[in-house]
Every structure is written in C-alpha cells, then in structure tokens.
C-alpha cells in the first residue's frame, strides 16, 4: 500500500488477529429466515429441500478451505471448525467470518432453483430481499471445549426440533392456532412433548429422521491411510512450502462425508481421531 500523507488513517483500524494455537469456529446463521420460510411456504416442521440446500452450500465451503477439519449444521446455521494451527487469512477474524459467510450465501443462492424447483415462489426464482448469512468467529483453546461446543449445537438441534415437531403437529393436525400451541407447550419438558406426539398423533419422536434430530456433520475421508481406520490423516511436522502445497492438494482431493449421527458421545470421535489430531501426531 502506498505510503502517502493519508496513510495515517490505517492507525484507526482495529487488530482482529485471533490468538495462536487455538481452534477457530466460524458459525454462520441465516438472517430473517422466519420471514423467508413464510414467504416461500416451506414445509413444516422441516423442509427437506432447504436442508439439502444448506448441506450442499456447506460442503462447497468445506471443500474450498482445506484448513477446515469439520462442519456441523442444523436448521439455518452451520459451524465450521478450523485447525488450531491454521494461518488462513493470517487468522484475521473479520476476513475469516466474512469470507465464509459470503461464500455460503453465494452457494445457497446459486443452488436455490435446483434445490427448490418450481414448487417454491411460483417459478422457483428468488426475489429480493435475498437470503443472507452472517458469521462470527469464536476461539477455543482445547479439543475438549471444541467437542463441548459441537455437543451444545447438537443438543440445541434436538431441543428445537422436538419443540417444532410438537408445535406443528398441534397446529396442522390438532387444529390449534399458533398462540394456542405456544400456550400448550409453555413450561413443558421433553417427556411432555413426547407424550403429546404419541398420545394425540401417534408420532414416535425417536423414529423421526436422524437428520432432523441430530443435524449434519461433515468431515474428510482420506484414501492414503496409514493403518488407522476411517481414513486417518497422516501426522506432519514443520513443513516446507512444497509439503504444505502437497498437503493442501491432498485435502482438496479428499472425499467429504455427510452423516446424521451422534457427536456428543465418544463413539464418533474414537473412530475418527484424526479429525481433531494435533499436527505431527503419528
């Protein structure tokens, strides 16, 4: 940047470099999606087309950023986990969050017609105001805290989906108004909602699709495994530029897997220890 008499204005910029050696989560959230759902008449309580569109956009983001080790999404949000040693965008918070949020928004909008078809909005085309997503960065110093964060999001998925499933059954099948359904569920716990679903509507919540109850987790699977199951990523020490480039290309070629499974317990992580492995660990 040119060194002119006006360069002093850079001193007003804030330093938003995130601390080193900490895991970074970039969480994106849909803006105004309640109104969007009404405008395009999405299916209640869940719309499979919207879910596939969200997952497709997230997979393209994960593919574009090799330093992302995992993504988890539910409803209108997705969390992308960057490895603790990432130097992406020099770990600048604004660059990270804005880059991911804008790419996700673009992929979401570009995939709209294919995902939604002619059933939505008449001819399937989006209208202003366009769907958009905001983003934020959060740092976590330990793997345990990263796991707790992801567990928190999956628990939130279950709580929200159980409520929404019960609410919309009361409205669509029970003939209640939205206000009446809200009042019916006020102060209720999970067992109360399960009882309402089963006794009034014959719905066994535990048999609902796992994608709605558990959300979607995405991660890479590698072909060149070294004895570990599930596509274990090879450990690396301090790397040269050529080694870094080789690793980047390897990640770009890796297969991205989508699963709707429990990530709160140990099972998922014990089968895939490489996802949160320290670089250099054999």
Residue numbers in the known binding site are: 29-30, 75-76
Give me 199's structure tokens. Answer: 């006794």
Listed as own residue / partner, the contacts of 36-44 with beta carbons closer than 8 Å and 24 or more positions apart are 36/131, 39/121, 40/116, 40/120, 40/121, 41/120, 42/120, 44/164, 44/168, 44/171, 44/172
Strands (E), the chain: 23-30, 68-74, 77-82, 133-140, 216-221, 255-259
- Sign of the C-alpha dihedral computed for residues 257, 263, 267 and 273 taken in this order: positive
**Cβ neighbours of residue 100 under 8 Å, at least 6 residues apart?**
26, 28, 61, 65, 80, 135
| Residue 48 token pair | 């499979």
Counting Cβ atoms within 10 Å, is residue 127 exposed (0-12), middle (13-18) or buried (19+)? exposed
CA distance 275 to 94: 25
Report the candidate in 244, 235, 245 with the shortest Cα–Cα distance to residue 278: 235
Conformational region of residue 121, where left means phi above 0, alpha means psi within -120 to 50, and beta covers everything else? left
Residue 116: both structure tokens together = 């939604």
Annotated binding site for GTP: 75-76
Binding site for Mg(2+): which residues?
29-30, 76
């Amino acid at each position: 940047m040119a060194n002119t008499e006006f360069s002093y204005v850079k001193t007003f910029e804030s330093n938003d470099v995130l601390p080193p050696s900490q895991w970074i989560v970039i969480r994106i959230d849909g803006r105004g999606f309640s109104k969007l759902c009404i405008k395009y008449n999405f299916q209640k309580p869940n719309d499979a087309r919207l879910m596939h569109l969200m997952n497709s956009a997230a997979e393209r983001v994960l593919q574009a950023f090799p330093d992302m080790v995992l993504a988890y999404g539910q409803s209108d949000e997705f969390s992308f986990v960057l490895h603790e040693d990432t130097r992406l965008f020099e770990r600048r918070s604004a660059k990270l969050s804005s880059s991911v949020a804008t790419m996700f928004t673009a992929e979401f909008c570009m995939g709209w017609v294919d995902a939604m078809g002619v059933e939505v909005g008449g001819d399937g085309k989006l209208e202003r105001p366009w769907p958009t997503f905001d983003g934020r960065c959060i740092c976590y110093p330990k793997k345990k805290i990263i796991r707790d964060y992801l567990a928190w999001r999956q628990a939130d998925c279950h709580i929200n989906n159980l409520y929404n499933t019960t609410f919309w059954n009361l409205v669509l099948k029970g003939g209640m108004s939205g206000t009446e359904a809200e009042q019916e569920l006020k102060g209720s716990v999970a067992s109360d909602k399960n009882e309402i679903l089963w006794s009034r509507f014959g719905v066994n919540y535990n048999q609902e699709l796992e994608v709605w109850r558990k959300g979607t987790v995405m991660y890479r699977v590698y072909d060149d495994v070294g004895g570990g199951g599930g596509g274990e990523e090879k450990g690396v020490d301090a790397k040269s530029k050529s080694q870094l480039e080789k690793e980047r290309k390897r990640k770009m070629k890796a297969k991205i897997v989508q699963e709707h499974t429990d990530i709160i317990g140990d099972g998922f992580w014990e089968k895939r220890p490489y996802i949160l492995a320290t670089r250099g660990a054999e």
